[in-house]
Amino acid sequence: MTYSFLQHYWWFIVSLLGALLVFLMFVQGANALLFSIGRNERERRLILNSTGRKWEFTFTTLVVFGGAFFASFPLFYSTSFGGAYWLWMIILFTFVVQAVSYEFQNKLGNFLGARTFQTCLVINGIVGPLLIGGAVATFFNGSNFIVEKNNIISDFSPVISSWANASHGLDALLDIWNLVLGAAVALLAQSLGLLYLMNNISDEDIRCRASVRLVGTSALFVVLFVAFLIHVLLKDGYAVDPVSNTVFMEPMKYLHNLTEMWYLAIMLVIGVALVLYGIGRTIISNSYIHGIWPAGIGTVLAVLALLLSAGWNDTAYYPSTADIQSSLTIANSCSSEFTLRTMAVVSLLVPFVLAYIIYAWRKMDSKEITHEEIETEESY
């Protein structure tokens, strides 16, 4: 395993975790529609007990995603998480509030009332995916930071990376295309959430409302996603000279990435097709309730293809709009070869972890959630 192979391997691992995180945000998407799909307290308890059995998967994947980035690409971690901390702190805060809301909404002594915590879950369901999507969009549109590696030997300011303005990440929300992808991710999460509720809850009223809501939500998602995809494929991208490591602008760089790495283009097309199939068949067929699976697999494939195209093929995966030569690549921001090699051995345990998740998921979803189950068992 060469150093270059390890760099590409760990970008694949990080991208895969990011793709799984986008899929698992169906929890946030379903919670965002809590009051519109659940018209009374009994229906809302059904929804919360459905998503409440899966929220740990989303939260854990978010933490592992951040940990993997820190271990494999520490310069990105210090630059983005350390510089754009307001953006990431808001994201983390909403997820912490989610955990608190699930656990305390029906506890004795809750003087705030269950509806207050349910409202917090709705906020997390909207804000979390929106900001995560906006943060991912900066991989293509760039962020406002400067990297000075020579500062590490300075006695006065040994800070390698710094944010070029006082917004510390909130400026990402001023870019319309970051907001477009953020809104697309939020709508995708809601579409997946609707598909999951229809598959997991045995209640015809909820399934009927979810099916109707799915039409408008998925249609708007498709419009925004296609708009962003066209924008990315036609825009100038941040390319890297493999010899001098100089970053320069290349017309239609991401389109070139997909044509040169044709397997990623195929993965993207298959992923999008599966998402559309899962949504479309659910809308057309009154009896089909398994759309979450093709749509979920398609989400992972499509997001994985986009993230890989942002970092592979001599591409700066975290471009700097303040200083183009400060842009981060998988070569100039990664850990040492020893660290990447050691972690590669540890990563061989990932399939066993995934197998456990699948096993636990199947056990929890061995039967649909019903009103009778909520009344007789401990629930959220």
DSSP 153-169: G-SS---SEEESSTTTT
Output the pLDDT for position 209. 92
Residues 177 and 126: beta-carbon distance below 8 Å: no
Output the pLDDT for position 108. 66
Has residue 369 got a pLDDT over 80?
no
Chain position carrying tokens 């700066």: 316
Has residue 372 got a pLDDT over 80?
no
Has residue 155 got a pLDDT over 90?
no
- Of 6-15, 78-87, 175-184, the range with the lowest mean pLDDT is 78-87
**Cα separations in angstroms, 183 against 130, 157, 198, 235:** 6, 38, 23, 20
Write the pLDDT tens digit of every residue in 90-117: 988 988 888 888 878 777 666 677 788 8
Distance CA 144, CA 348 (A): 36
Output the pLDDT for position 371. 66
Ranges assigned E (strand) in 148-225: 161-163
Percentage with pLDDT > 90 across the chain: 53
Long-range CB pairs of 283-287, under 8 A, 24+ apart, other chains included: 283/211, 283/214, 283/215, 283/218, 286/211
- The CB-side HSE value for 217 (13 A sphere, CA atoms) comes to 25
Query: CA dihedral defined by 244, 247, 251, 256, rounded to 10 degrees?
Result: 70
DSSP state of 322: S
CB burial readout 253-275, b (16+ within 10 A) else e: bbbbbbeebeebbebbeebbebb
Q: What are the DSSP calls for 5-62, one per residue?
A: HHHHHHHHHHHHHHHHHHHHTHHHHHHHTHHHH--SHHHHHHHHHHHHTTHHHHHHHH
Type of residue found at 88 = W
DSSP state of 80: I
Residues 35 and 44: beta-carbon distance below 8 Å: yes
Range 252-272 average pLDDT: 96
Write the pLDDT tens digit of every residue in 215-256: 999 999 999 999 999 999 999 999 999 888 899 999 999 999
Chain position carrying tokens 């990447």: 340
Output the pLDDT for position 229. 96
Give bridge partners of residue 238 from the DSSP assignment: 249
Give the pLDDT band (50/70/90) at residue 134: very high
Has residue 163 got a pLDDT over 90?
no
